[in-house]
Chain A
């Protein structure tokens, strides 16, 4: 393992020190392990809390700020945060209007956020949760823990964050989050594995000419292994899967997201193929993100997320946002 770390056990603690030093607009609580806006809760505004395993930066700490999250709870690398952590963040951002938890559908995340929500009720904090499950790679969902939550998390955090800033109430925000999730689908492709620092070894092996199709955002293997072909063909597989699950039409928001080990030039090659595929199916891209937003350490590959926008969702997407990783309009 070759990594710029001090010790495998101290990666998260050391990274939080760096986050605090780099971003004066954020406050980092090192003992309870959460990242929040430096200004504290906004009275009367619903607080937005998300979180999940570390190793997906900038998700979620990079999306804390005006127009998006109020706090993020980073767990250990690829491990969900614990209830104490989530409870502390939830209480810290409650401005009296309740707190919305945005949770990716992984068993550990769901269980820990649920326990934290139960505990928050004991302190009189109203909590609602939105579970993001946009990954079409998971079939047979009646028998599994359901679809994973991946790239659409960024869409939910941004759009719901904008609505929260405009003063929407807790129930409205939860419904909006579910709407964004329902209108979004993702598909991921990995070209290499990655190494969790505490384990020291790659999570899985991929041959030179192999790709893992339908990966989530962890080192976990995907559903099927394929041969490495052209970017255009791989994009075809991804968008065919998305389109089969949720027929695409009209104007869409597209994110081509790097998993941490893929240079931007390749992401733009992928974006070109995505635009070409969509145009061929009568779908047009009205908004986009290309870059590293939901990573998997140094894993090579990308995820493609598509959201079928409405005028309201477009308006909220365009609203000002000021966070370390997403910033426009103000």
Chain B
């Protein structure tokens, strides 16, 4: 994976989040303050604009730029949390011009660790971690058994989607939703939902990359 593929991922994530902003906001109005879709759209569109402007040449450079954009434009809790995740991933990738599937796995694991460090959320708290953490585990399992990037990102997406579904049964213990207590049960977590969209974008771009590579052979 080179910088152009990471850029394609963020473009696709921004497109998908923009398209689903109303859905994210609806989920947030059930448990929070009805701005998650609006914030994520603003943050990711700012990330795309900053990428187009600065055109970083390495995957790490792309993710660092995205992290900076999210922290400085998103607001709310999602800005610092996602921003920190992308910046930690960037740090792991360093200045490598090309990144292997295993390196991306390490970067995703670093992102989860960074988000957990500042958000202090664990699995079961009904947050983005409930989608992200199983996704990284699933990604790693595919890579460990000799799978490829497309398979690993698809597995990550599937695990995140399952994790999102499970958040509906949970009672929120972090963030603004926690103030509602038991009334959060029955609603999917908006942060987990945006995580699914971002991982879905990754899987889409990696599958397209795979098809392109195979087409050339």
Interface of A toward B, CB cutoff 8 Å: 53, 75-84, 106-108, 111-112, 114-115, 137-140, 143-145, 148, 196, 198-199, 201, 203-204, 216, 218-221, 223
Contact = CB atoms under 8 A, between A and B. Distances in A.
Contacts of B77: 80, 107-108, 111
B33 A196 contact: yes
B198 to A, nearest CB: 19
A220 B180 contact: yes
- Most B CB within 10 A of own CB, among A76, A114, A145, A198: A145
Given A107-B174, A112-B75, A145-B174, A219 B118 contact: no
A76 B180 contact: no
A199 B34 contact: yes
Interface stretch (B6-14, B66-74, B203-211): B66-74
Interface string B74-96: 11111111000000000000000
B39 interface: yes
- Most A CB within 10 A of own CB, among B76, B77, B118, B175: B76
Given A107-B174, A111-B118, A82 B35 contact: no
26 contacts: A75-B75, A76-B35, A77-B35, A80-B76, A107-B175, A108-B76, A108-B79, A111-B80, A144-B178, A145-B179, A196-B34, A196-B35, A198-B38, A199-B25, A199-B29, A199-B35, A201-B34, A203-B33, A203-B34, A216-B176, A216-B179, A218-B176, A219-B29, A220-B32, A220-B33, A223-B183
B165 interface: no
Contacts of B32: 220
Given A82-B75, A198-B35, A201-B29, 9 more contacts: A79-B39, A80-B75, A82-B71, A83-B72, A107-B174, A108-B76, A111-B81, A199-B29, A219-B29
Contact of B179 (A53, A79, A198, A223): A223
Nearest to A205: B29
Which 3 pairs from chain A and chain B are nearest by CB? A144-B178, A79-B75, A108-B77
A106 B176 contact: yes
Interface in B2-53: 25, 29-35, 37-39, 42
Nearest to B71: A83
A257 B23 CA distance: 33
Nearest to B172: A144
Contact of A220 (B74, B173, B179): B179
Contact of A112 (B33, B79, B172, B178): B79
A81 B71 CA distance: 10
- Most A CB within 10 A of own CB, among B30, B34, B73: B34
B97 interface: no
Given A196-B34, A221-B183, A145 B74 contact: no
B147 interface: no
Contacts of B34: 78, 196, 199, 201, 203, 219
Contact of B35 (A78, A137, A145, A216): A78
B186 interface: no
Contacts of A220: 31-33, 176, 179-180
- Most A CB within 10 A of own CB, among B38, B175, B181, B183: B38
- Most A CB within 10 A of own CB, among B33, B37, B178, B180: B33
A53 B33 CA distance: 11
Contacts of B30: 204
B10 to A, nearest CB: 19
Contacts of B78: 108
Contacts of A114: 118
A173 to B, nearest CB: 25
A204 B80 contact: no
A204 B30 CA distance: 7
